[in-house]
Amino acid sequence: TDVCVFLQVNTSGYYRMTREQQAVEQARRAFLTGRSRPLDYRIRQLKSLRCFIAEKKADITAALQKDLGKSENGTELYEMLSLEGEIMAAVKHLPKWAAPRPMEKNLLTIMDEVYVQPEPLGVVLIIGAWNYPWAVTLKPLIGAIAAGNAVVVKPSEVCVHTAKVMEDLLPLYLDKEMYPVVTGGVTETQELLKQRFDHIFYTGNCMVGKLVMEAASHHLTPVILELGGKSPCYIDKDCDITVACRRVTWGKYVNCGQTCIAPDYILCEPSIQDRVVEEIRKCIKEFYTDDPKNFADYGRIINKRHFKRVMALLEGSTVALGGDSDESERYIAPTVLRDVKPEAKVMQEEIFGPILPILTVSSADEAIHFINSREKPLALYIFSSNKKLIKRMIAETSSGGVLANDCLVHFTVSALPFGGVGNSGMGCYHGRHTFDQLSHLRSCLIRGLAMEKINTVRYPPHTTEKMRW
Ligand code: NAD
């Protein structure tokens, strides 16, 4: 890279650019060469990303084990498989996604060529979170590469080991000028946010989401905010409670509850609360044995700060299951709270840990009212055998996504746009949706210079005679 990449001029002379400025400048220069525009370049990069995942699986797994206590199979199942699927789909469908999209014409344009042409936006900033650090950082990257953008990748500093693997190994596989990885914490992210981007894709909490949006507004940069919140789970008394609780237990305690779409709390009628607690107890034992602490498939809280935050949420509520912990290992047992009050501490923020409060409601109507009285969640789960009730709850509530009779699996369907609404985020991604969101969908109309006669009516003077035409 030549020296002017690192020096910037201002009124008092030359000064050295920060590492973040350099990364953005390099990415912008790379983008302006135009080499990311041809589809074969994008496909080569995507295939190379796939090689990275395949060849560096051991490094990826070891880092996740240190950061989050994730098992090898858990990593494969919850992070790697979906990334591979996403890459394969992008490689396969890219020619179709990137092709001009003919549009319906009106009478005035009947002879013209009218189409939408997806075009790259420029330099995209991807800021990742730590809970599924590969999925939330590389999935948007896949779509951004497919769309022909340059990308500055900022992994979360909270997953220390994973960020290091991303920084050290990703550039060995990708065009490192086009896709630089910038590591660091709040200071570095804020420095990045001062730069001008053509799009910012942020995954993380709502509070920082607001800061990202504010910074983006200085350059009128569009944003996708993949945020979190409290995703409710309604269990109707008219359903197979055994099956419902198996699925809820899985969705809640996978990754130690640190899943953006984990069911945050259960709403059910008082008559089934005991049964729900008992079924979850059986499932916890079946999935994680009597000793989850020493069981490979049960994870850990990411760091001491979050450990303390999650433990503090227990304050003032009745523990029905679990509740024990070990700070030295950042271990919190799978925990269920019963008869939780809406004003309890655990109901004031996203839990993002292995604590599952149960709140009782007198009916589905009260559940709907409860859900609507709070911020719009990222996911809503409804367990019921009554299809009419499911449809009614969907019609009378709002959430980023909704899933009936299971947890989390809507995330795996690439055809479904994944994203929040209101406080749980804006914009969406997965599959073609990422491609479209990170492209400019440019309206194109091409006409010839012939047939000038039919334009007469639009040129002044607008005489009555012309209007009669
Ligand atoms: P985090 O602390 O890693 O923060 C995310 C990113 O924001 C990091 O890269 C970090 O450097 C940056 N950051 C943090 N503070 C900042 C500041 N003051 N200024 C500028 N940048 C800053 O992750 P987190 O926020 O703890 O992530 C957990 C949250 O993410 C949860 O709310 C969860 O629901 C949500 N989440 C959402 C999705 C989704 O797809 N919607 C996926 C995963 C996580």
At 291-324, the pLDDT tens digits run 999 998 899 999 999 999 999 999 999 999 999 9
Distances from the Cα of 49 to the Cαs of 88, 145, 170, 181, in angstroms? 11, 10, 8, 14
pLDDT of residue 111: 94
- The reply to whether 315 belongs to the active site is no
Under the banding of pLDDT at 50, 70 and 90, the label for residue 1 is very low
Phi, psi values for residue 116, rounded to 5°? -110, 130
Ligand 1: nearest atom to the Cα of 204 = 30
226 - beta bridge partners? Answer: 203, 425
Other beta carbons less than 10 A from residue 222's beta carbon: 18
Beta carbon of 378 within 6 Å of any ligand 1 atom: yes
**Do residues 94 and 39 make contact, with C-beta atoms less than 8 angstroms apart?**
yes
- What are the tens digits of pLDDT across the range 93-151? 999 999 999 999 999 899 999 999 999 999 999 999 999 999 999 999 999 999 999 99
Mean pLDDT confidence for 351-357: 98
pLDDT of residue 2: 47
3-state secondary structure 442-461: EEEEECCCCCHHHHHHHCCC
| Residue 11, both tokens | 């009124």
Q: Which residue has the higher pLDDT, 267 or 79?
A: 267
pLDDT of residue 6: 62
Element holding 10 (H helix, E strand): strand 7-10
Under the banding of pLDDT at 50, 70 and 90, the label for residue 3 is very low
Q: What is the mean pLDDT of the chain?
A: 95
Distance 167 CA to ligand 1 centre (A): 18
Beta carbon of 208 within 6 Å of any ligand 1 atom: yes
pLDDT of residue 285: 98
Whether 46 shows a pLDDT value over 60: the answer reads yes
Beta carbon of 130 within 6 Å of any ligand 1 atom: yes
pLDDT of residue 467: 81
Q: What percent of the chain is modeled with pLDDT above 70?
A: 97
pLDDT of residue 12: 67
Beta carbon of 425 within 6 Å of any ligand 1 atom: yes
Ligand 1: nearest atom to the Cα of 212 = 20
Ligand 1: nearest atom to the Cα of 185 = 11
Beta carbon of 260 within 6 Å of any ligand 1 atom: yes
Peptide bond into 461 cis (omega under 30): yes
Ligand 1: nearest atom to the Cα of 378 = 41
Distances from the Cα of 142 to the Cαs of 39, 83, 126, 401, 438, in angstroms? 13, 8, 11, 22, 10
Amino acid letter, 228: G
Amino acid letter, 462: H
| Residue 138, both tokens | 């590389």
- What are the tens digits of pLDDT across the range 120-134? 999 999 999 999 999
Beta carbon of 131 within 6 Å of any ligand 1 atom: yes
Look at residues 365, 317, 132, 345 and name the one whose alpha carbon lies nearest to residue 230: 345
Beta carbon of 224 within 6 Å of any ligand 1 atom: no
Pocket test residue of 158, 211, 301 for ligand 1, highest count of atoms within 8 A of CB = 158
The whole-angstrom separation of Cα 462 and Cα 449 is 22
Mean pLDDT confidence for 316-343: 97
Look at residues 373, 378, 377, 280 and name the one whose alpha carbon lies nearest to residue 333: 280
pTM of the model: 0.95
Distance 11 CA to ligand 1 centre (A): 37
Q: Which residue has the higher pLDDT, 354 or 454?
A: 354
Distance 225 CA to ligand 1 centre (A): 10
| Residue 459, both tokens | 């040129």
Element holding 72 (H helix, E strand): helix 72-75
| Residue 50, both tokens | 């796939």
The whole-angstrom separation of Cα 309 and Cα 301 is 10
- What are the tens digits of pLDDT across the range 365-384? 999 999 999 999 999 999 99
Distance 130 CA to ligand 1 centre (A): 7
Beta carbon of 321 within 6 Å of any ligand 1 atom: no
Distance 98 CA to ligand 1 centre (A): 31
The whole-angstrom separation of Cα 249 and Cα 302 is 20
Determine the 3-state secondary structure of 306 from DSSP: helix
Which range among 70-84, 117-131, 170-184, 372-386 shows the weakest confidence by mean pLDDT? 70-84
Write the DSSP symbol of residue 210.
Answer: H
The whole-angstrom separation of Cα 419 and Cα 198 is 20
**Do residues 96 and 118 make contact, with C-beta atoms less than 8 angstroms apart?**
no
Distance 227 CA to ligand 1 centre (A): 8
Catalytic residue among 256, 260, 268, 428: 260
Is the alpha carbon torsion for 255, 352, 386, 237 positive or negative? positive
Determine the 3-state secondary structure of 430 from DSSP: coil
Distance 347 CA to ligand 1 centre (A): 20
Distances from the Cα of 95 to the Cαs of 38, 89, 90, 101, 104, in angstroms? 10, 11, 9, 12, 21
**Do residues 330 and 307 make contact, with C-beta atoms less than 8 angstroms apart?**
yes
- The reply to whether 366 belongs to the active site is no
Look at residues 177, 135, 174 and name the one whose alpha carbon lies nearest to residue 43: 174
Which range among 36-50, 69-83, 354-368 shows the weakest confidence by mean pLDDT? 69-83
Ligand 1: nearest atom to the Cα of 184 = 11
Residue with CA nearest ligand 1 atom 39: 226
| Residue 462, both tokens | 């607008």
Whether 7 shows a pLDDT value over 70: the answer reads no
